Structure 1
Amino acid sequence: MVNNPFRHSGKLYLLPTTLGDNDPMEVLPASVQREVERLETFIVENEKTARRAIKKLVPEKSQPSLKLFLLNKHTDPADIPGFLDPCKNGADVGLLSEAGCPGVADPGAEVVKIAHRDGIQVIPMVGPSSILLAMMASGMNGQNFAFNGYLPIDKAARKTELKNLERISYEKGQAQSFIETPYRNNKMLEDLVQQLHPATRLCIACDITLPTEFILTKPVSEWAKTKVDLHKRPTIFILQKEI
């Protein structure tokens, strides 16, 4: 018999949300809806959007009774461990992502880290991850890939990083994915076309799971002749050089 490694009976549930303004039940399993219906305490990035997401999932749920802890760039790191106090008192807590899956390109990773440190069981729930969905649809190496988050804004530093990612993709056979602030997506595409080898494959995956979804992979040389507007559309870029 294996001893229970968790010191507290309360659990931390990682609750995914939609990647855009669509019906949550089109992309989220019923198990997520059941947990949102049951839980009363949530760790969220933005109160307004979190309440909206909860209401869309469970319209009849009482909003005034909810206890929300805010976790974003304004949160004092010293306050974060206290968000898990309900778990230490036997109550379950939900970590609700702003979009997609908590803890992946998401500030919730810090809460999960603390939960493990404090002996609180972490329960990940199934939901849409734009990173994985883009990789699935890219036709690139799903056995070996990396997510690099945001690239440098400085033009010279960005050029250096793009060349570095392209080199790594060739030497390791490793697909390289990254994101950009949505209003700078078109400029990112311009930089990719200018800086990458013409034969390097580039996947652009935007508005994933939405009616306007667009996912296409082709050589950089062909993207140079293609007009596509990515402005303010959540986008994953993936590159891989194979020559």
Structure 2
Amino acid sequence: MSQTLTIIILLVASIAGSGLIVYALMIGTKRQGALRDAVAARGWRYDRDEGTAGRARVTTISDPNAGWQMEIKVNAATTGSGRTVRSTTWRAANAGISQGLAIIGPSMSAEKAERAETMLGKLGGGMGGFVMGRLFGDLGPEAARLEAVDLPGAHGLLMATPEAQAALVPVATHPALANSAGLLPGGALPVIRRSDRGLEISLRAALSRPEEVLALADLGETLRQALPES
């Protein structure tokens, strides 16, 4: 291959790559505008931090009247695997519990749940917390005290510390949780937790489509209203 032909191929590849980048930016800008409009139509607040100087890009959506907030993060710093960290968390700080931790994660068989519980007990606080963190995100020091809760009709694996066994029971069996799979992006299974931080729904994905963001906000509000007054 001649040097001239090599240069031409590289130029064409560079132009094509630049075109794809411009197209992606245009799509991103269009979605931002659509999301901002959808949020404004609901009377909610929209804020965006572009995350310069190595900080995560964070979009914050909130409803001050209802008392919830959603953070959509794209971390510019990559993990050891070389992948960008993306997450979405809906939180109602006023729907927490005073003690303990309860979580709902993806379903697994009773045998696997029992095995996970046994493993946590054997590994102890530090390693047990690390294992649960890999599965469900950062759960704090309470992770190693989690026990599987046998709840017929639960839409997922329910685990809780001894004092928080009933904290997520109304949520775990709620029909809205079963229907959420068709509303959220594929593979972005929600993890729900309740602690002194409030009620939280977390996804390992950065939502950008207005319909997905609205669906998560509606799911959070529906599940919060299912909880008894504390």
Which structure has the highest helix share of the two?
2
**Structure-2-length-normalised TM-score:** 0.28
Greater Rg, structure 1 or structure 2? Answer: 2
